[in-house]
A and B are shown apart, each in its own frame.
Chain A
């Protein structure tokens, strides 16, 4: 694994969290 497999859609992340019984780790970042 060479990088974090970031998802950019929060709803998709929550759906995967439910599917895999995990928590979603959400990084609210400043893109500038």
Chain B
């Protein structure tokens, strides 16, 4: 991460402006036990109470790290629930990082968030249609498959 992602200007700017960046050795016995750290790098997003909101494992290139963090922030907002803020995060992934591996999940969660708020099944159908059109090989299309049956 140090050699590639953390020296990327866009990553530096995003991390400094969007989250509180903390680095700690995985060998820390207290923290390692509390957060069940088994491998490095393990990247967590914690709320102010120290509660884990998102976890990912392994190295990320710069172009994947920002959308991964956006997905984590969006997921935390989704769980609050602050679905408008969640949709802003998911929308940024979809609009700014469509080639990222997080984009299909962002499309799924964005549609789900909008459905929960509106109860309009068009949002669920929209998930299926967009994934089928733009990400036909994504496992998220499989998860959205039942939504195609909602079409009249």
Shortest distance from the beta carbon of A18 to any chain B beta carbon, whole Å: 4
Pair B46/A17 contact, Cβ less than 8 Å = yes
Compute the total of residue contacts between A and B using a CB distance below 8 Å. Answer: 120
Kindly list chain B residues whose C-beta atoms are within 8 Å of the C-beta of A18.
48
CA distance A7 to B144 in the complex (A): 40
The SS class assigned to the A binding surface is mixed
Q: Can you name 23 A-B residue pairings with CB atoms under 8 Å?
A: A1-B13, A4-B21, A6-B23, A7-B23, A10-B50, A14-B49, A23-B53, A24-B46, A24-B47, A24-B48, A25-B15, A25-B19, A26-B23, A27-B1, A27-B22, A28-B24, A28-B43, A28-B44, A29-B1, A29-B23, A29-B40, A30-B40, A31-B25
Q: Which of B6, B22, B25 is the one whose CB lies under 8 Å from A24?
A: B22
CB within 8 Å for A28 and B42 given contacts A4-B15, A14-B50, A17-B48: yes
Interface residues of B toward A: which range? Answer: 35 or more
SS of B interface (majority): mixed
Q: How far is the CA of A22 from the CA of B47 in the complex (A)?
A: 7
Task: Tell whether B121 is near chain A: CB-to-CB under 8 Å.
Answer: no
Which chain A positions have C-beta within 8 A of B13?
1
Expressed in whole angstroms, the Cα–Cα distance for A22 and B77 within the complex equals 11
What 0/1 readout, one digit per residue, does chain B (44-64) give for beta carbons within 8 Å of chain A?
111111100100000000000
Q: Give chain A's interface residue range (CB within 8 Å of chain B).
A: 20 to 34
